[in-house]
Amino acid sequence: MAAKGLTECWREAEAAKPSTWMVRGVALGPRQADPAIHGATWVAWATGPKGERHQGMGDSPQDALVILAFQLRELGGG
């Protein structure tokens, strides 16, 4: 699925989020600093104003961001 560039996918996730949410990062798991990121897969995540969290997972950072953008649109984002 990773036909788009990383910057383009990040911008799409930013545009998809509700205004009170923040796209926080994309990383390859596992990460000791964030126990929600585990396994050997890419994870992109965003947080809401009350500490809510949504994440997209994929085989590449672009895939993870595309999935996150879809989830954020479902929340009523862009």
Query: Over the stretch 26-63, which tens digit does the pLDDT of each residue have?
Result: 988 756 556 666 667 899 999 999 999 999 999 999 99
Domains, the chain, in order of start with CATH, read 6-74 (3.30.160)
Q: In angstroms, rounded to a whole number, what is the distance separating the alpha carbons of residues 60 and 9?
A: 11
Beta bridge partners of 44: 26, 56
Res 5: pLDDT: 93
Indicate if the pLDDT at residue 64 is higher than 90: yes
Is the pLDDT reported for residue 1 higher than 80? no
The SS3 of residue 16 is helix
* pTM > 0.85: yes or no: no
Please say if the pLDDT value at position 9 is more than 90: yes
Q: Yes or no: say if 43 and 64 are a contact pair by the CB < 8 Å rule.
A: yes
Count of H-run helices and E-run strands, the chain? 2, 3
